[in-house]
Structure 1
Amino acid sequence: MKKVIRSFLKCINFPAVVVLCLVLALMFGCQEDDPDPVPQIVPGIPTNVQTEVTQDAVVLTWVASQNADYYHVYRSLQSENGFQRIVTAKELRIADAELEVDQTYFYRISGVRLTEDQKEVEGEKSPTVQAVFVVGILNVGVDLIDFGETSLQQQLTIKNDGNGKLNWTISSDVDWLTFEQDSGELQAKGEQTINLVSVRPKSPARLEGLISVVSDWGQSFVMTVRMIVSPYPKLSLSTNTLDLGLTREFKTFQIRNSGTGSLEWQVNKLSHADWFTVSPQNGVLFAGQSDTLIIKIVLDKLRKYPLSGRISENLVFRANDDEKRVYITIKTVNPVLSVSDESIDMGLNLDVSSFTISNSGSGVLEWEIYGGEDWLVFEPKAGSSEGETDRITVTVDRTHLPEGDHSARLRVDA
């Protein structure tokens, strides 16, 4: 038997057998083709990514990408890297809250497709967008506005302590209060002062209400506002001192009945000073009414007082059983005329010369030049000085003058 097997093996052509096996393997392997792989469907890139900063979040919106079932939103504190997924959203809008104020954030969004076997296919991320989370911070700093018994006007300063733009509105629940401005806009770290004006009723009362200031960031401040209307006439003055300084213009102030009923008043000078006048000197005021008093300087009387001094007077106001005073002061330093030359010699050939006029005192010096001859011209002829020096040019026309000495006299008045 062994001899038979050896004889058979000697008869086999092993290379031919190997080739035959390979051919058979190819034949059987090609009987049925492999199916083509299914192409991968990748979502498109989200477009038109927008950011909007609100009072408590950064809101992102975008346009849907093709073949996306939902979206991954990524955020970073750097523009190029460090992005981490913060949320997965099916909607085309998310609000990123709990952010740090004054921090810059960077965002990218990708579309995601979910395959039949529940595997995610994520598309390319959108270009980076950024948002600076800044807010407006409303602040008014007070919790009470008190008009008391006499005040007609108070001021309120509205501030924005944040780095975002802020719009504000103000309102009140009382009808005796008006606002000079009831809304406004504040830039970062800006502030605005508005006037609050009260309308005092004619009947005695203790009034109280609320003022509300609200911002478009959802912040609000509520403060109390009060006013007392006295049950009797009350004399009120807009000031108790009036410093005229060096001015010689008229000044005004107000007298008012801040109570109820009628107020009969009169005013007198305590020392009977003659260097100013006051008008009117008496009157009748009903509840809430006021008069404007005018103080006028009498220059001729003021000049008799010593220079470089200060004088004063008290105006005494009396109304019913009430008395108030206004202390008035003024500086008596007067303008002093100074002329540089007492004479000018034009000699034989000089046609043009000059001299100066100045005010060596204080206040305003009004001056004017008179006199002269036809052959003499001087400019300017008048002016004023508050301490500066004015130069006057003198010109001689010798054309029609006969030989000999000629003279002219000029007079400077101030």
Structure 2
Amino acid sequence: MKRIINFFIIITLFLASCTEEERDYTGNIQGIVTESGTTNPISGVQVSVVDLGASTTTGSDGQFRFSDLEAQNYQLQFKKNGYITNTRNVNVLVGETAKCDMQLEKEKEEAEIEITPSTLNFGTAQTELSVTVTNHGNAATEWALDMGNNAWLTASPLSGNIAGNKTQSIVFTVNRDKLSETKNVKVTLSAFGNSYTISVSCAPVNAKSEMAITPTSIDFGDTDNEKNITIKNTGNAPLTWNISGITEESISVSETEGTVESEGSKVIKVKLDRTKLNNNLNTSFVISDGIKEQTVTVKATKVEEKAEMKIEPTLLDFGHSSTELPLTVSNTGKAELKYSVSGISVNYITVTPMEGSVAAEGNQVLQVKLDRETMPENANTTFKISDGTNEESITVKATKPVAKMEVSPLSLDFGEEATEKVFTISNTGTAEFTWNITVPTGTGLTVSETSGVTKPAETKQITVTLDRSIMPETLNTTIEVSDGVNKEKISVNAIKGSAIAGTVVTQGLYTYYKFDGNFEDATENGINGFGSPAPSFVEGVIPEGKAIKFSKTDNSTFVVSKPIIDSKEMTISFWGKDFSDGHIFHLNSSYENYPMLSLSIVNGALKFAVDGYRNHYQFENDVQPFVHPTLTDGKWHHIAIISDYHITTIYKVTATLYVDGMEVYTITQNYTDSYGGYGTGTSFTMGGSLKLNNSLTLPATNMSVDNFRVYDTRRLSANEIKEIYNNKQ
């Protein structure tokens, strides 16, 4: 029983599968063909499925249809006489009808007339000749002959209609009874808006030609563009001639008709336009005088125009800085040149454009670019430019810019006295570099610049200065110069030697107080001072040095227990700043401790009083102030006073003031020996206040003083004072 049931199920499934419909995998194409720019249907259009070779024709409604086509893309072609053939692609989908409408454009109607022959020469015997009119166009045209005022010449027919691609004959007849002389005339045929000329020559029966043509054969060869022919009249009457039968566009003549007098001649230029010459030329034309026809043959050789490639330059050297160079492709030939660039085997060279065309006798500039980021240290590579026939190799060279630092000298010896030396940083490479200088601290060494940039072929001079007041007893160190890659070390040597080593204008120098942290005399005299109470030390005229700073509040002073400025011929030199009205320095006298010599500022002007009498009794009335630039501006100023007694002016004191290296004023004052004059000095005091008498006290100030010098037997020259000022000593 179970087997019977299973068999029944199998039979049922089989019958069900047999009744299921088969699946359809095709589609259709349908459309309508109309005239371009309208909705007018076109019947009789052949529509073809190019891919299948199947075709159909549109009905009167312009419609067409292709059924049961496999689903894919097809190209349809639409064709009918009188219309321009067109195509369209269409995609067929399963179970769908693809729409493919088309508009066809009518062909342009043209009539193209040709008349052969275009010259008729009846000579002395012919009475009837014919020409053939051919319409090479696609449209019919009316035509008509204009015979002119020539009673001796007739034609049949005189007009007509000629269809496209058809021919017609016209028969010309002459009546010599109406002809008394040789005639050369032109008849015009008008058709489709154009005019065509037919040349007709005819002579009486007994006429004789007196025309001679030389040469009758012309050969332009492969270079000539112009030749001459001569028409000669050997008769005793004028000769009328014409030229006809020129069928080649490349050939032209200077004149096509004319008259030659008896025994005369006419030169006709025959020209060849080689640009219109497609092949070797072998043609002819006819020269006629109405009686005789002379054929002139014309030959020319077509020279194939070639392109000639020239490349300039063939070596591109980018050196160490260029990134782009031009390359010119020239065409020295007569035909268009097509070129292409190839063979670039490196990634750091590019050429733009890689291909192109150059007109005859023209040129094109290519740009060759170099990527310096990816190029090697030294580049040497090639690429090629080809015109398909010839190939030119282009060499490319380049050098990566490299900086090269050279330092000279590598040793500086200051010895015992020198305070300044120089060295140079040179760049002998092809790229700029940034340098830095490292100077060891605590050596007294400084440099004019600690960093900078030096370009190729440039040299930078560096000044090294040694402050001997703060240097160690023996200096043996190095200065390091680095460009970030390489380092050079400059050895520096010096011996401290004398305390005034490196000091300018030392002749006659009696005392020299540098105030570099102490009150000592730098000269060998060793006349040291002290502070009472001690002033402080601050930054001096040069940042590396020191100066003493007086305090108005503390009434601080600098004291030397010897009369360092008690001299009838002397120079006092020092630097000062932060001046204000008050006492600067003075020399005490043994006469009742009077101040016998003083320098102060009163109402902004320096006063220099020499003897005790003028200081104690006549300071306000008999001591003339100097006239000078302002000193109370808070800046460092150099002050020098040259003083003498009884040298410049008899029995008087002459004092000349220099400010900042320049002479500014001279004063002359009386001198009294009775109240503390020269030779009575006991001690020197700088800073603090000064009591001149019971009613006048010069106040203390907050001034700063540096590099105080005394020359007790010399009056310095203007140049020596300028030298001290320039060296800030």
Q: If you compute each CA radius of gyration, which structure gives the higher value, 1 or 2?
A: 2
Report TM bin, short chain: 0.3 to 0.5
Give the number of the structure with larger relative contact order, counting CA–CA contacts within 8 Å between residues 6 or more apart: 1
